[in-house]
Amino acid sequence: MDILTVESLYKTYGEGNTKVEALINVSFSVKKGEFVSVIGPSGSGKSTLLNMIGALDYPTSGKVSIDGRDVYKMKEEELSVFRRRNIGFIFQAYNLVPELSVEENIVLPILLDYKKPDERYIDELLDILGLKDRRRHLPGQLSGGQQQRAAIGRALATKPAIILADEPTGNLDSKNSRDVINLLKLSVERYSQTLVMITHNQNYAAYADRVLSVEDGVVSQLGGNPQ
């Protein structure tokens, strides 16, 4: 079953001599429980693609469907709720709320949806993330690796249809980077989670089931099973 479908996606900025084609006729699909990495040089269109998939920006033309829903046909309020419930975001900059503890940051998307967290599941997440003894700590009291693990927990907390990770190891040293990649791989396997991850590191990209390359706005497949 395809959880994500991208069809004929174009993104153009500017006009005339200043026109930039950031994405050119991008089409691919991702199955439920698949781990896909996206690589490419700086400025190739990787982050633009992830923003389109997550409906953080709109394409010039094309379609993105997540769990059977066309994300661009939703009104802003409906899209906001859909995004919160179905898409987990992991950013390079962590984006944790500094005044909230690790546990509060992790359950925040659930509380924003006026729902009660599954305490057993949150405990399990904290354990897997190695943050059980840091659950009451504020982000400022954590290392970079611990902050990124908290951000992964927040992305997993709502059991989303798909997780989008934009350079999740970009601010980490090599050991913490490997730990984070291993945690992401574990989440895919343990929770049948679907993950699309942007990375500049080809070694980390190799952890994925499939690798897509973006160059000058064009997406092609490098390895794994063709869809």
pLDDT above 90 for 200: no
Q: What structural domains does the chain harbor?
A: 2-223 (3.40.50.300)
Which is it for the CA torsion 101, 157, 118, 35, positive or negative?
A: negative
Written as one letter, the residue type at 18 is: T
Mean pLDDT of 204-223: 91
- pLDDT of residue 217 exceeding 60: yes
Instruction: Specify burial of residue 189 (Cβ count, 10 A radius: 0-12, 13-18, 19+).
Output: exposed
The model's pLDDT over 74-121, given as tens digits with 9 standing for 90+, comes to: 999 999 999 999 999 998 888 999 999 999 999 999 999 899 999 999
225, pLDDT greater than 70: no
**Among 56, 50, 8, which residue's Cα sits nearest to residue 196?**
50
